[in-house]
Amino acid sequence: MRHSHEGYQSGHPWYYFLGGKRLSLKEIREAVRASGYGGYLAGDIAQADNLAEPRRSHVLRTMRAKAKAELQRDVSRYRELSRQLREYREAGRVTAQDGACADIHTNISLKHNHISNEFAHLITLDALLSKQGDLFGF
């Protein structure tokens, strides 16, 4: 379930510039889950999954802890940017006459994309960690 507004996806600055709604974290997570997107670390995660146990589980858990910490930082900033976007819109501000979007539109779209990537990593890592790797290499 991808979110779009006026032909732009929620990860694009123009989505917000043209009045697209600020998405909840649950909406972002479910959109990522529905898309099957693995995140920019999908290749690294796949490599870690191919390691022998117990190294595999250790590396995957380390990657998960890092993704979770990054998600927490991104969520904090996303909430701040959501507030700024609301205030920007309530103030009735308009951007440059050439129709360029403002910094707030770019900032919130980038933070949305960071959160999407971290959710993708966590979804993938949680699925892999729910399966026990082969301890004997058979």
Q: Is the pLDDT of residue 102 over 70?
A: yes
Cis peptide before 13 (omega within 30 of 0): no
The overall pTM is greater than 0.85: yes
pLDDT for res 33: 97
Contact assessment for residue 86 and residue 75, using Cβ atoms and an 8 Å cutoff: no
Contact assessment for residue 59 and residue 51, using Cβ atoms and an 8 Å cutoff: yes
- Residues 121-132 have pLDDT tens digits of 999 999 999 987
- Residues 61-85 have pLDDT tens digits of 999 999 999 999 999 999 999 999 9
